[in-house]
């Protein structure tokens, strides 16, 4: 009898699916800040504007095959394209490994895709677009209602509708208050409105229980990077560092390890 394991094949298919979605996320990262359509026109080289043939637009593979250069004008293509595709593909595999195929996978897959787009746009343009965060808030709340009444999520990653609602209100409200207080004392706008809506979206997707852990991690990560930048570039000058990517990273950690983290800080002495 021959036993053929389909597990490796399953992981490969999931990886490729994640890479294809990652390729679309690249288009979103490039076009959303400019207000362009993410569907039309088809992909073209940002330098020479020549259209990219389908065989040069294969996720991950084409970048390696063309050695990171445009086929027509040989201008360097940003490694960001490759990084985003690899990141989305790897995280898709990790989600599949953690949750299998089911409601928890579907909701967290959409959530992770949104976090990646938000992070790279914030790094690039220092904005968090409403076209991601506002529908994200609605979607997070919608998934929690479906999780309660329609789907069965045995991983308990999808919060209850009440937890989702409290999460989005407290998440958004807390950062809004922090921003106001900071502005009163320093007369400088410290917390962008984009961060407020992003944190509300995270609360809607993961429930209020995720907020403390996410914020602690984001603040810690932001402080370490902020101090490093200050140290390298010189103290006293202002270097705005986007906070969005740190919030996204905190949310991502909570998504994978949240249950363990919550248990740890609720029950450890």
- Residues of this chain that interact with Zn ion (CB under 5 A) are 45, 47-48, 70, 72-73
Question: Among positive and negative, which fits the CA dihedral 262, 266, 267, 268?
Answer: positive
Minimum CB–partner distance for residue 89 and Zn ion (Å): 25
C-beta of residue 178 within 8 angstroms of C-beta of residue 191:
yes
Closest distance of CB 76 from Zn ion, Å: 10
Tokens representing residue 24 in the block: 């679309």
Using CA atoms, how far apart are residues 128 and 120, in angstroms rounded to an integer?
9
CB of 52 to Zn ion, least distance (A): 9
Distance in Å, CB of 36 to Zn ion, minimum: 18
Crossing angle of helices 161-186 and 193-206, in 10° steps, is 160
* Cβ-based nearer residue to Zn ion, 69 or 154: 69
Q: Smaller CB distance to Zn ion: residue 48 or 227?
A: 48
CB of 54 to Zn ion, least distance (A): 16
23/214 with CB nearer Zn ion: 23
Let me know: does 199 contact 172? Beta carbons within 8 Å.
yes
Chain CA centroid to CA 242, Å: 14
Q: Which residues pair with 69 in a beta bridge?
A: 76
Query: Whose Cβ is closer to Zn ion: residue 77's or residue 115's?
Result: 77
Nearer to Zn ion, 45 or 110 (CB): 45
Gap between the Cα atoms of 189 and 191, Å rounded: 6
């Amino acid at each position: 009898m021959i036993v053929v394991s389909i597990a490796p094949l399953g992981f490969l298919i999931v990886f490729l699916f994640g890479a294809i979605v990652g390729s679309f996320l690249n288009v979103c990262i490039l076009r959303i800040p400019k207000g362009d359509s993410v569907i039309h026109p088809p992909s073209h080289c940002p330098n020479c504007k020549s259209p990219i043939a389908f065989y040069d637009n294969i996720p991950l593979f084409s970048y390696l095959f063309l050695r990171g250069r445009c086929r027509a004008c040989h201008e360097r293509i940003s490694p960001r394209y490759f990084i985003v595709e690899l990141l989305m593909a790897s995280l898709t595999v990790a989600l599949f490994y953690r949750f299998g195929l089911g409601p928890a996978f579907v909701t967290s897959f959409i959530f992770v895709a949104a976090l990646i787009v938000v992070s790279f746009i914030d790094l690039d343009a220092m904005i968090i677009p409403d076209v991601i965060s506002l529908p994200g808030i609605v979607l997070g709340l919608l998934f929690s209602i479906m999780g309660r009444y329609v789907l069965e999520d045995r991983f308990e990653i999808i919060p209850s509708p009440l937890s989702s609602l409290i999460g989005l209100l407290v998440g958004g409200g807390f950062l809004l208050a922090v921003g106001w207080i900071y502005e009163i004392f320093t007369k400088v706008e410290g917390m962008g409105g984009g961060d407020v809506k992003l944190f509300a979206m995270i609360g809607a997707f993961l429930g209020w229980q995720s907020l403390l852990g996410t914020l602690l991690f984001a603040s810690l990560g932001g402080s370490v990077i902020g101090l490093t930048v200050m140290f390298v570039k010189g103290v006293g000058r202002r270097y705005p560092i986007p906070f969005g990517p740190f919030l996204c990273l905190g949310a991502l950690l909570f998504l994978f390890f949240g249950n363990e983290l919550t248990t740890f800080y609720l029950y450890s002495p």
